[in-house]
């Protein structure tokens, strides 16, 4: 029979989780995640989004619950890259695919666009954008082809750094992804585990944008579910070689390491979510992303709470997350300001 777990102990581990929510309003399940488990963040999807006013109300309610429960605001994130990956549709700015911007816009224009996107996200209460993509795709066969700025590492880095500056200026935390780069793959990690095809064990082309982003102080980096045989026999998300040796030691990244969704096929085909989260934390990840399965969220927290050997690693991750969350500005603008903004005349790039 499983021994009961002290609620405070459970919530210690809950702060390391970023989770999806079931609907467009805060309900009993969402309250339990925020108030009782004290998760560190939530991620919004189309199922959570109806209108700018509704998103503002959802974020407001989530933050009220979080601050009352833990004294810290939540990380509220969204995938708002552009092109095929943007959860917030018109009247929010409709962002062209990164590849189109890399061809037809200047870095200065991308920075300005990203600033305006960041301003919109911040306006409705979202404080983290899971963007930009730093991958360097080699060919159109790569699933990241349209989501990445360029196949030239230096050009990709210039545009990604411009986006990072823009999002930050707009009031949201940018997240560079997907380390250590999916550009030399031809398989989709949503379905299967991609294998790095580059013969360069140093991955110089793939790592250049991450190296420069780390030097520029990007606050967070998302992992790739990618097998790099020259580094490890585990996917990068679960690999201490990838996260601690390469990202932390060699690239000198000091911010928060966020996993990609642990329910994706590349990982779920190998491990259940709770075990994958345990392995990712042990490898060096700080924030563990579980996008859909709420039962798996609770299972993960319970499993981690029983792993005394991970306590020191978890405290290190919790400190990084606390420092990031303390940088969230509350309260957000009021609902009147939201309504006024979205009544404005259409801008360039607005659908």
118 CB burial (10 A radius; 0-12, 13-18, 19+): buried
Distances (CA, A) of 6 to 28, 302, 350: 21, 10, 49
* Catalytic-labelled residue, pool 184, 260, 274, 286: 260
Is 184 designated active site? no
Phi, psi of 230, deg, nearest 5:
-70, -15
Closest CA to 278 of 95, 13, 9, 7: 13
Cα angle 100, 127, 178 (rounded to 5 degrees) comes to 50
Is the previous residue joined to 100 through a cis bond, with omega within 30 degrees of 0?
Answer: no
Beta strands in the chain (DSSP E): 17-20, 41-44, 75-78, 80-82, 85-86, 128-129, 173-179, 220-223, 256-258, 288-290
Gap between the Cα atoms of 255 and 312, Å rounded = 17
94 CB burial (10 A radius; 0-12, 13-18, 19+): middle
Is 260 designated active site? yes
Gap between the Cα atoms of 309 and 326, Å rounded = 27
Residues annotated catalytic, as ranges: 190, 260
């Amino acid at each position: 029979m499983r021994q009961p777990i002290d609620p405070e102990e459970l919530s210690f581990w809950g702060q390391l989780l970023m989770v999806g929510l079931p609907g467009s309003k805060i309900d009993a399940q969402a309250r339990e995640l925020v108030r009782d488990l004290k998760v560190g963040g939530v991620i919004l999807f189309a199922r959570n989004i109806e209108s700018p006013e509704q998103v503002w109300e959802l974020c407001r309610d989530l933050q009220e619950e979080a601050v009352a429960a833990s004294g810290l605001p939540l990380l509220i994130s969204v995938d708002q890259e552009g092109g095929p990956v943007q959860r917030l549709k018109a009247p929010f700015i409709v962002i062209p695919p990164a590849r189109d911007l890399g061809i037809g816009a200047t870095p200065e224009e991308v920075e300005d666009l990203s600033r305006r996107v960041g301003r919109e996200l911040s306006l409705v209460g979202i404080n983290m954008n899971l963007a930009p993509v730093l991958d360097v795709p080699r060919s159109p066969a790569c699933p990241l082809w349209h989501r990445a700025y360029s196949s030239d590492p230096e050009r990709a880095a210039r545009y990604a750094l411009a986006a990072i500056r823009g999002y930050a200026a707009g009031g949201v935390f940018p997240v560079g992804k997907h380390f250590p780069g999916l550009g030399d793959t031809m398989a989709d990690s949503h379905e299967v585990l991609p294998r790095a095809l580059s013969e360069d064990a140093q991955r110089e082309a793939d790592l250049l944008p991450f190296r420069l982003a780390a030097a520029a102080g990007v606050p967070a980096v998302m992992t790739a579910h990618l097998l790099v045989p020259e580094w490890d026999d585990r996917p990068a998300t679960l690999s201490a070689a990838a996260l601690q040796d390469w990202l932390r030691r060699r690239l000198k990244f000091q911010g928060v390491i966020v996993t990609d969704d642990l329910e994706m096929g590349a990982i779920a085909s190998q491990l259940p979510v709770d075990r994958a989260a345990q392995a990712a934390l042990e490898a060096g990840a700080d924030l563990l992303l579980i996008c859909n399965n709420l039962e798996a969220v609770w299972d993960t927290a319970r499993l981690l709470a029983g792993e005394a050997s991970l306590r020191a690693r978890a405290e290190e991750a919790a400190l990084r997350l606390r420092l990031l969350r303390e940088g969230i500005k509350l309260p957000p603008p009021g609902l009147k300001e939201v309504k006024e903004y979205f009544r404005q005349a259409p801008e360039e790039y607005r659908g």
